[in-house]
Structure 1
Amino acid sequence: MIALDDVLDARERVADVARHTPLDYSNTFSRMTGAEVHLKLECFQRTGSFKIRGATNRVRTLSETERDAGVVTASAGNHAQGVALAASRSGVDSKVVMPETAPISKIKATKSYGAEVVLHGIDYDAAQTHAHELEDEEGRTYVHAFDDEHVMAGQGTLGLEIVDDLPELDTVVVPIGGGGLISGVATAVKAHDPDVRVVGVQAEGASTVASSLQKGEPQAVDSVDTIADGIAVRRVGEQTFPVIRERVDEVVTVSDDEIATALMLLLERGKTLVEGAGATPLAALLEGKFVYEDDEVIVPALCGGNIDLNLLTTVIMRGLVDQGRYVKVRTVLKDRPGALNDLLDIVADERANIYAIQHDRTNRDIAMNATEVELDLETRGPEHVDALLNRIREEGFEVTVLNGPRPQ
């Protein structure tokens, strides 16, 4: 397994490429959780992700023969950009295989950093299989996204920055996909202080570590399904798993809805844009997925900020719904002049804002003298939604909530 010396050596290799990203105390999230929360803003890293650290360390350990042959890798996007920039900075040719579903923003960014991009397969694992085929055909060196000791050590430089900036750290919370980041970070922080707790977070739709730990060896899932594409990996790494088993104290999962809420809160309250994977540590903290003490010093590692704008729009809307800030309701009115106005007067009186109205007389499930109305409403929170629904029902309307806030 990698050791502290490997991480220290990596720090020297990546110092001129990877930025020392801020560690920012958050009054907002400290107040919300009761802990002392410091956000590791790795989303401000060059290429928008921690991946530049491991990629640079790996590329700079290539032999001359390997440098001449070039490198190849597979990635959902962040590792792709890291390898592309690391290779370009070192004068090495790079080819990157990305899933066909990769965000267009990450594809364009990878090309802009100098790599040749090949789109193949529906997810990371399919892309990885094709990348290994190119490795054999073209004699390139494969730069693994996580299951490589040099990559793991490079990612561990993030952990060195945390303990340098905050020696009194109690807990660090880190996303897990294949395990490269958490392996490196855990190695660094445990060497600093074995009592520092390391909590790993996976998305529910790509959770492999818990079952792997239970069975004592890496386990795979048939498919992954999560908005956190950066950690959407079917199997934890062979080399990362022993490190996780030895140095990670706890592994928890978060749902996509919880990730969306954390992402939206970071935008609205923290003025910080992260991708789904980057929001998972804060989601785990906000949702109480692990036990912590009052005033415990906790660092969620916000590991990436490369989110596709189309996905961002969807995530924001889901987050607004979950927080009771946006609700869609349906009711049936008598098809007579003024009926819709009576309903809208209630909405206006309760200070909800109408985003959209759908008025349908053709639904076969309602009476001939009735009309179905759907309202998209901007609201102020779950209590406001409850008050609005109660008022509508008190006025004699039957109303169905089509979407609404998660139970508190």
Structure 2
Amino acid sequence: MPAEGSVAVVTEPIMPPSPAKEEPLFDPWCDPENPRTVTFQDVSAAAFKIKSGIMNTPCTRSHLSNVTDMEIFFKKEFNQCTGSFKERGARYTLLMLTPEQQKKGVIAASAGNHALALSYHGQDLGIPVTVVMPLVAPIMKVQACRQHGANVIVRGKDIGECREYALKVSKDQDLLYINGYDHPHIIAGQGTMGLEIVEQVPNIDAVVIPVGGGGLIAGVALAVKALYPHIKVIGVESERCASFSGAMKAGKPVYIRAESTLADGLAVPKVGVNAFATACHLVDKVVTVKEEWIAISILRLVEGEKAVVEGAGATALAAILAGELQELKGKRVVIPLCGGNIDTTVLGRCLERGLAADGRLVKFTVTVSDRPGGIAELTRLLANLGVSIKDMVHERAWIRSDIFSVEVKVLCETRDKEHSEELRNALLQRYKILRFGSQSPPGAMGQ
């Protein structure tokens, strides 16, 4: 009890101050609530500003025109200094910075072409560039960005984590964050390709454009439709990430789960809000293509056009080769080959997949006699058919047929699908147990 006349003091435990809630990271240039629509005047201004620093790439008639029954012209954007169309938007965005922001610099999240383009033109214009790249980014691209003077931060398992970190650094260091497909100046810059296309090729009926985040198709559609409203603008996506198709159906950008695809540059799970607002009423049609047709397109471009193009850049041609655009038969069509930054190891895999999808690279397993001359007879059969053997392995221990047999696995090259079918029929006539490609061997069910 307190003494008489004294005042009781009640002490309350001191609670630590509650931590201030961090504001969610936000890119003010790409506000879903207030999308910014790019205008034709923006594209025209971009064309004037970047013309001294960007290559006006050739747009030439393709050797594939006769095969496809269309008059195809390829806009060869892979000839840009860093190998893609991304330079157009990158340079224009850097040129539109205020003098104060040019001194501070910019930041972006990218695994490839956008990072390369910003790094190259940032060095050319004397603007500091920071790029955040995921752990899975190709080492060659990381090194190329560093060689162009960029501050490269490798962080995050995917581009989503890279973007979050880049926005945090942008806020902490007062750097401008540049979205690679949705910043309004990026879209305007990409649209300059459309101005070049209509100047280079007269009487165009359609332009077929690969679609990822939507920046390229938004800019090109805006430029082309403003000058020639009758020209059809058609978008093409990989079926493994059809985010623009999903947005068209929903009437707004929606999240679509992106799966692994040869067209990795198009694997954007949600199209840009500004890009969609600009493009949605200008795009006439969007189609999707399967992976095998992208691989075949890469192969056709290497063989027919002597052009090395990445999966994303070959996707528009894939739609035509797959027969998805029959309405363009007899028409004059322009396709941008928008990037050529493909790793050599990936290129090798793409070419092999293209040959396999084309019916020219064939594998089969056949059981032959293990007595002298058994395998020689098989190779003689292949030689007489004009089939080239790429690899051959024989197996004795793990087969269930008689002890005097051997299982032979063969990888070989044929002229075309008809030649492959001729090989298959010849093998079926001579051997009882055959597994051709992914087929099960006749009589082997239940073994």
The corresponding residue for 2:6 is none
Separation of aligned partners in 2, 1:71 and 1:293: 42
Question: Would you say 1:228 and 2:263 are equivalent positions?
Answer: yes
1:16 corresponds, among 52, 69, 74, to 52
Q: Separation in 2 of the partners of 1:293 and 1:50?
A: 25
**Identical columns (%):** 37
Question: Does the 8 A contact of 1:100 with 1:120 survive in 2?
Answer: yes
Distance 2:274 2:316 in 1: 23
- Please give the per-residue CA displacement for 1:144-184, whole angstroms capped at 9, x wherever unaligned: 10111100000000000001112311100111110111110
Identify the residue that residue 442 of structure 2 maps to in structure 1.
Answer: none
Counterpart contact for 1:155–1:181, Cα < 8 Å: yes
Name which of 157, 160, 167 aligns with 2:192. 157
Structure 1 segments of 4 or more deviating over 3 A? Answer: 364-369
Q: Secondary structure at the match of 1:160?
A: helix
Residues 124 and 233, structure 1, Cα contact 8 Å, conserved in 2: no
Q: Distance in 1 between matches of 2:65 and 2:438?
A: 30
2:307 matches 1:280: no
Q: Deviations over 1:299-352 (max 9, x none)?
A: 011101111101000000001111122111001123322211121111111111
Distance in 1, Cα, partners of 2:105 & 2:46: 21
* Residue 342 of structure 1: aligned partner: 377
Q: Distance in 2 between matches of 1:388 and 1:288?
A: 27
Q: Spell out, residue by residue over 1:241-268, the C-alpha distance to the aligned partner (whole angstroms, 9 max, x if none).
A: 1122111111111122111100100000
Alpha carbons 1:125, 1:234 under 8 Å: kept: no
| Selected match of 2:107 from 72, 87, 90 | 72
How far residue 403 of structure 1 moved from its aligned partner, in angstroms, is: 5.2
Q: Please report how far the alpha carbon of residue 100 of structure 1 lies from its aligned counterpart in structure 2 after TM superposition.
A: 2.0
Q: Secondary structure at the match of 1:223?
A: coil
Instruction: State the Cα deviation string for residues 204-262 of structure 1 (Å, max 9, x = none).
Output: 11211111111111111233311112111111001111122111111111122111100
- Structure 2 residues not aligned, in runs of 5+: 1-36, 440-447
Q: CA deviation at 1:293?
A: 4.0
Which digits, 9 at most, give the CA deviation of each residue in 1:95-144, with x for residues without a partner? 11122222233222222222122223333323222211221222211111
**Which residue of structure 1 aligns with residue 272 of structure 2?**
237
Q: Give 1 or 2 for the bigger CA radius of gyration.
A: 2
Q: For this pair of structures, how many residues does the alignment match?
A: 403
Q: Which amino acid aligns with 1:325?
A: R
Question: Which amino acid is the alignment partner of residue 190 of structure 1?
Answer: K
Offset at residue 289 of structure 1 (A): 1.4
Of stretches 392-401 and 258-267 in structure 1, the one that deviates more from structure 2 is 392-401
Q: RMSD between aligned alpha carbons? A: 1.5
Aligned to 2:337, the other structure's residue is in SS state coil
2:43–2:191 contact (8 Å) kept in structure 1: yes
Task: Verify the 8 A CA contact 1:259 1:283 in the aligned structure 2.
Answer: yes
Q: Deviations over 1:365-387 (max 9, x none)?
A: 44443221101111111111111
Deviation, structure 1 residue 286: 1.5
Q: Tell me, which stretches of 5 or more residues in structure 1 are unaligned?
A: none
In the alignment, which residue of structure 2 is the partner of 1:399? 434
Map of 1:215 onto structure 2: 250
SS at match of 2:340: coil
In structure 2, how many angstroms separate the alpha carbons of the residues matched to 1:263 and 1:51?
20
SS at match of 2:379: helix
**Are 1:76 and 1:229, in contact at CA under 8 Å, matched by a contact in 2?**
no
- 1:113 aligns with 148
Aligned to 1:136: 171
Question: 1:333 and 1:154, CA in 2 relative to 1: closer, same or farther beyond 3 A?
Answer: same
**8 Å CA contact 2:222, 2:279 repeated in 1:** no
Give, in whole Å, the separation in 1 of the partners of 2:39 and 2:431.
69
Instruction: Give 2:290's aligned residue.
Output: 255
Query: Is the contact between residue 25 and residue 37 of structure 1 (CA under 8 Å) also seen in structure 2?
Result: yes
